[in-house]
Amino acid sequence: MENKKDKNDVFFGENGLTCTSAENICDNAKEYYETILNDIDSARFRHADIQVVGEEKVNRTEIGWDSERLQSVLEKIPVIIEMKDLIGYYREAIKAHEAKVSALNRMTIDEFAEKFGIEMPVRPTQEPTITENDVLAEMSIKERHEMLRLQAIVSTYGKYIHPRGAFSIARADLSNKINNPVKKEGSGRDTIITTYTPSVQLKEVDDLLFSMRVTHREAQSRLNGYKHKIDMAVRADQIEKTAKYAAEYDEYTELRSALYAKFEAWKKEELARIEKLKIVTPNNLIETYKKVNAFGKKKEGKSVEGE
């Protein structure tokens, strides 16, 4: 993989200063010019003399600059500028180095993939499973009508064969009246006698109820068959799509894990590359660098890392 150059790559090369050495050079350069700067800042263009009244002796307490020292400013200011120029360059290079490390630490896996034209694995989504309505929509008109007819049979017959249904109540009433055919109300001459006689045989009612239960049961069984078919279709679709999603998700996690491993390996290599970068000193700053480097050696009595 190739690293795309950025605007700050110009600061770096295989030979040059480490950031630590550049920082040290900046500190020495600052110390170098501050002495000159302090001298210029202390400029006085007049003398100061003190004389005690009654005495002839005059004591000079302040000495102003003479013409030669005044003109030396024109030589000293360029030195300050030279040092600040060196410091400005190295500081900018150090900042650029820090920016590279910071950018690498902030980089996301999506940015990494985009940088190198890698297609990111797409997280799969589970396809919605079919519903009862979806299955019904695929049934033929004959099947739909059959289901509706069976529902009508079940609901109609169920109304009458239910323990609290009209036929069940009437059958219980017939059985009661067979066992208690006479009913008396009132007393004396006001007594009313009601006699109950079956209009049909109890067995006929029982046979009818039995026949209705058989018809209801058969219709219910067939209707349950349709419902089971629908439930099985929905369940089969759920199993199929869940298995498909699980396989796709496993593949997705494998691809993403592999990409993360590649990303982390690249970051490690890139960090090592950045750490090896050396700050290159431009040709027009070489003499200034040598001057400051020599100043540092003399001041500290030890070598400062060079080119």
Each residue's pLDDT tens digit, 28-37: 999 888 887 7
The Cα 29–Cα 87 span in angstroms is 7
Give the pair of three-digit tokens for residue 3. 């690293």
Scanning the chain, the segments in alpha helix (DSSP H) are: 19-41, 67-106, 109-115, 132-138, 141-161, 166-179, 202-276, 286-300
Instruction: Inform me whether the pLDDT recorded for 3 exceeds 70.
Output: no
CA separation for the pair 56, 290 (Å, rounded): 54
Those residues whose C-beta lies under 8 Å from the C-beta of residue 220, and which sit 6 or more positions away, are 150, 154
Residue at 210: amino acid letter: F
* Residue 213 φ/ψ, nearest 5 degrees: -65, -40
- What whole-number percentage of the chain has pLDDT above 90? 54
Give residue 162's pLDDT.
86
pLDDT at 268: 95
| Section 65-87 average pLDDT | 79
What is the predicted pLDDT for the residue at 69? 67
pTM: 0.60
What pLDDT, on the 0 to 100 scale, is given for residue 1? 43
Question: Which pLDDT score, from 0 to 100, does residue 131 have?
Answer: 94
Contacts 24+ apart (CB under 8 A), 96-101: 96/8, 96/11, 96/12, 97/11, 97/12, 97/19, 97/274, 97/277, 97/279, 98/19, 99/8, 100/8, 100/274, 100/277, 101/271, 101/274
The pLDDT value recorded for residue 71 is 73
State the pLDDT at residue 301. Answer: 63
59 burial type by CB count under 10 A (0-12 exposed, 13-18 middle, 19+ buried): exposed
**What's the rounded Cα separation, in Å, for the pair 109 and 171?**
80
What are 192's strand-pairing partners?
185
Q: How far apart are CA 289 and CA 307, in angstroms?
A: 10
**pLDDT for residue 8:** 82
* Residue 72: per-residue pLDDT: 66
Model pLDDT, residue 41: 66
pLDDT of residue 61: 73
pLDDT at 303 over 60: no
List pLDDT tens digits, range 159-194: 888 888 888 888 898 899 899 988 888 887 788 888
One-letter amino acid of 64: G
